[in-house]
A and B are shown apart, each in its own frame.
Chain A
Amino acid sequence: MFKETSLLHLTTYLLAIVVALPFLVILLSWGDINQEIWAHLLDYLFLDLLTNTLWLIIGVGSGVLILGTTLAWLTTMCDFPGRSIFDWALMLPFAIPAYVLAFVMLDLFSYGGSFYQAIDIFFGGMIAPPDIQSTAGVITVFVLVFYPYVYMLARTAFISQGNRLLEAGQSLGLTPLQAFLRIALPMARPAIAAGVALALMETLADFGAVSIFNYDTFTLAIYTSWDDFRSLSTAAQLSSLLLLFALMALFGERAMRGQSKYHQTSGRAPYRFQLTGWRGWGTTIAISLVLFFSFITPVVQLLIWGAEVVQQELNSRYFEMLYHTLILGGSAALLAVLGAFALAMARRKREDWKIEWVGRLITLGYALPGSVLAVGIMIIFAKVGLAWSSIVEWLGGEATSIMMQSVAALLFAYLVRFLTVAHGPVESSLEQIKPSMEEAARSLGESNGGVIRRIYLPILTPGILMALLMVMIDVMKELPATYLLRPYGWDTFAVRTYEMASEGMWEHAALPALSLVLVGLLPVILLVRRSR
């Protein structure tokens, strides 16, 4: 079946060009340097950008590493009150976008906020409420939002190790803690490193949270050089620097992910180290605090604000936003899944090394931070627009301008960024169909149509639905590319949340933010169900 591989290959090469173009225009942007702006950047901003970015990498990296690994160790290898609930509940913060936790925390810890007052009342004068709008504050928010990457991967690694090797270690004279440190932890190292790399990629790509905290990073500088200075080339040059950091994180993740595959042993339920008495309850309280700040606080605060404004805000404007969010998410999901399906089919036979490499290139799109991607696409659209109008004028017509900010530009961006997200579930459902199944169906008398209808469609459907859902939700939560590329009047939940939050109008941000958290919970629930 699908003997027409040439069509599949053609589609795959087209996708590769689509993904490669933004990379190329970003990396080739150094030809035209605006000296005035760069002088300004170097004088006032550039050193801050670098030190802030390094602080984020160090702080968030070590924070998610320690928090995620410790939590995973506690929930998989120890027993304490509430363990079975924390086991899945600790994945819930996946549903909270970083910019949402950022503005909730900013309010609660700022002068007059609930946490500020609570600290004031309980410790009055002894300790000052912390300044959340600081490097430590930004790092804390990112750690609370992104630790689930490490938690989830480390947890899976610990569970798949089984306990046979730990028992072997104990039989050789190690205590349970020593066995963990010398056996389980080194074996889980690739998975943990992959989780840290993913968290760092998200941190580097973040635009909303750092903007709300006024913390200068590359994403913010990229936005400023476009919004204040109208210099796409400077934005692209800054983007290329950020891209370097992001690619390093991505390659780190790829390399680690590859290694982690080799450590798979039997999956008997591990024996758990019993934490009794104060140690057990201490653990319970500590983990509750993590969950309290990372999930319960933002959700409760959003509910309180939402309840205040739901009467006025649940109006036609809200439903227009809902419509825009859904239509963008839906069409991007369709595009990405179609692309992912073509790619997965072309890669299926694994015969053609060119297709293999093109496939790897295509999945690099995930590493492009949204703001970098937006700058790249604006440059492409500007160039195409210029070429188009000169052609039309040469032909004697009147040129209609091609908009840099349009739905087409948005879909372009979503396709590049989220093709990888769709590719995972589509490919793994395709892998379920072994070549022998198709042959078995044929030997049982089914022809082409029957094989597609009775084998391919029913086996692929769940994976395709999963891919559609995941891309759709990622698009709905996506902020920087949407913010930069959306046509006038196309506000989505993410854009509205950010705009209201960055102006300090928390209540007005609550309803769209709450909507995002709710849809964001869907994939987390699926993740939780699959992980049990």
Chain B
Amino acid sequence: MTSPENHLSLNHIQCRYGDNTVVHNLSLEIKRGELVCLLGYSGCGKTTVLRAVAGFEPIHNGSIILNNNLLSSATEQIPAEKRNFGMVFQDYALFPHLNIEENVTFSLRKESRSVRHKQSEELLELVGLQGLGARHPHELSGGQQQRVALARALAQSPEVILMDEPFSNLDVELRQRLATEVCEILKTRGITGIMVTHDQHEAFAIADRIAVMHNGIIQQWDSGYNLYHKPANRFVAEFVGQGALLRGTVHGDGRLQTELGEIHGEERQALTDGCKVEMLVRPDDVTFDQEGRHEATIIRRNFLGAESLYTLQLTSGEEILGLIPSHLQEEVGKSVRFNLDMDNMIVFACNLDRAENMGTAHEH
């Protein structure tokens, strides 16, 4: 089952708290040196998966395998301290009674003092904190503490590093800078990384592949590009990025009758003639054009800098979003003409998909 290039495999794992199953039959194959994200709302089971990989949670079915060695199964579990996985916690979990150097070299207890000192210096330089080894955790800012936590996890030269919402306590600007830095460090060292986050931008910034989770099930396991442009189901379409769903009916192959008239596009799914569907319209599919085919009224405008996000109301009352370069300013209340770029048409069958996915998407 495990192909040679796969480093870490989660095979059909199931996790339970008492009678409550929070992870269902979940499988992931992660390549050596790959950086992956588990993305989803809180309570979707992503942290439980990470803690199961770390060895803090038992699994009740399936197996977790590293380099063809069994780490966890329903009956066996290698303890966390024997796994040599680095772990970075949401609250950093630095030891308050130790200084930064002692924190970083916590795992190097068998090394001599001079080796530990040298290691600490190197790692602190790597994370941009040179010279702070003698300080105590409470003397550092949140971002600095998170860097220490990363250095501490790297000190034991782990094969895999696990990060649980590592940047969620930081402000937005610092979050993105640190995410990029961490990504570079892990890539340079060839360390396999799994990060849990609820922030899709963080996931896009760092991950090679992203697993979108909902209700303990992986909804899609793909690159960030594909999650946005080829969402596998309605949940992913609504969770990743912005957009609107337009009702329509299928005619023949690839032609769709909607509010906006007939729309042609490349149809991925085979849909039968006459089927009721919903079509995903992303804000970047919309372009203003004085000779455009469609018409709508501007009811809201959000200036974002390079672009403005317009909320457009169609004659039927349905609303779509349009992301337009901000120099093409149009006023609220005005009627505009626009075109839809539907090369990449995403369509969900109404009845079928509603029954399966809408119920869950409604929670939010």
Task: Report A's interface with B, CB cutoff 8 A.
Answer: 432, 434, 436-437, 439-447, 450, 454-455, 458-459
Contact = CB atoms under 8 A, between A and B. Distances in A.
B87 A439 contact: yes
Contacts of B90: 436
A459 B96 contact: yes
A434 B93 contact: yes
Nearest to B82: A445
17 contacts: A432-B96, A434-B93, A436-B89, A436-B91, A439-B89, A440-B149, A442-B81, A443-B81, A443-B86, A443-B87, A444-B107, A444-B153, A445-B81, A446-B106, A447-B81, A455-B95, A459-B97
A436 B163 CA distance: 12
Contacts of B81: 442-447
B96 A444 contact: no
Nearest to A455: B95
Nearest to A443: B87
Contacts of A442: 55-56, 79-81
A432 B97 CA distance: 10
A459 B137 CA distance: 14
B79 A458 contact: no
Interface of B: 54-56, 79-87, 89-91, 93-97, 106-107, 109, 149, 152-153, 155-156, 162
B93 A444 contact: no
Contacts of B155: 444
A444 B79 contact: no
A437 B93 CA distance: 5
Give the most central of A439, A442, A443, A450: most B CB within 10 Å: A443
Chain B contact residues, majority secondary structure: loop
A437 B103 CA distance: 11
A437 B153 CA distance: 13
B84 A440 contact: no
A432 B56 CA distance: 20
Contacts of A437: 93-95
A407 B162 CA distance: 56
Nearest to A454: B106
Given A445-B81, A447-B81, A440 B87 contact: yes
Contacts of A436: 89-91, 93
Contacts of B80: 439, 442-443
A445 B54 CA distance: 12
Given A444-B106, A444-B152, A439 B93 contact: yes
Contact of A440 (B93, B97, B109): B93
6 smallest beta-carbon distances between A and B, as pairs: A436-B93, A443-B87, A444-B107, A440-B93, A442-B80, A436-B89
A439 B79 CA distance: 11
B107 A445 contact: yes
Contacts of B153: 443-444
Given A441-B106, A442-B80, A444-B107, A434 B54 contact: no
Nearest to B106: A444
Nearest to B105: A444
A436 B89 CA distance: 7
Contacts of B95: 437, 440-441, 455, 459
Contacts of B55: 442
Contacts of B93: 434, 436-437, 439-440
Contacts of A459: 95-97
Give the most central of B56, B85, B87, B95: most A CB within 10 Å: B95
Nearest to A440: B93
A452 to B, nearest CB: 13
Nearest to A441: B106
A455 B156 CA distance: 18
Contacts of A439: 54, 56, 80, 87, 89, 93
A440 B156 contact: no
Nearest to A451: B81
Contacts of B156: 444-445
A446 B106 CA distance: 9
Nearest to B164: A436
B84 A445 contact: yes
Nearest to B89: A436
A434 B92 CA distance: 10
Contacts of B82: 445
Nearest to B86: A443
B137 to A, nearest CB: 11
B89 A440 contact: yes
Given A440-B89, A447-B81, 19 more contacts: A436-B90, A436-B91, A439-B56, A439-B89, A439-B93, A440-B95, A440-B149, A440-B152, A442-B55, A442-B81, A443-B80, A443-B162, A444-B156, A445-B81, A445-B156, A446-B81, A447-B79, A459-B95, A459-B96
Nearest to B92: A436
A442 B56 CA distance: 9
B91 A434 contact: yes
B85 to A, nearest CB: 6
A261 to B, nearest CB: 21
B271 to A, nearest CB: 49
Contacts of B89: 436, 439-440
A382 B87 CA distance: 59
A447 B162 CA distance: 19
A25 to B, nearest CB: 41
Nearest to B90: A436
A270 to B, nearest CB: 23
Contacts of B106: 441, 444, 446, 454
